[in-house]
Copies of this chain bind each other. A is one copy, B any other.
Amino acid sequence: MAHFNDDIIGPVAATLEYIGGRWKTVILYYLTTGKRRFGEIAARIPAISRKVLTQQLKELEVDGLIFREEFKEKPPRVEYSLTPFGESLSGVFREMSLWGKEHVSGKRQVAS
């Protein structure tokens, strides 16, 4: 992604290397509610196209944050879930969710 050689901002920047992607935090946060199929994620986050969703999921898998389980069935089925590594981000998600609830509830209209 980018490059950060700084000691102060280093750890935060390092975290962003994992969850800094456009949709990654939202995807991961949705997966904290349990194992989900590709179609479920796509339905839950309609703003993201399937192409980009595929890309983001692949990157998250490569980074070890999510686990992809593919069932060899005839209409294919794929389930995504958080790895323990991905679950270790829960503190970040919790704080983000808290802040969103406390500071932005309803204030900011969401475009479409």
Q: Mark A residues whose CB is within 8 Å of B.
A: 1-6, 8-18, 20, 22, 25-26, 29-30, 33, 44-45, 47, 85, 88-89, 91-105, 108, 110-112
Contacts and interface: CB of A to CB of B under 8 A. Distances in A.
Q: Chain A contact residues: over half helix, strand or loop, or mixed?
A: helix
Contacts of A14: 100, 104-105, 108, 110
Contacts of A9: 26, 29-30, 44-45
A85 B100 contact: no
Contact of A92 (B18, B33, B95, B104): B95
B111 A2 contact: yes
Contact of A85 (B6, B88, B89, B103): B103
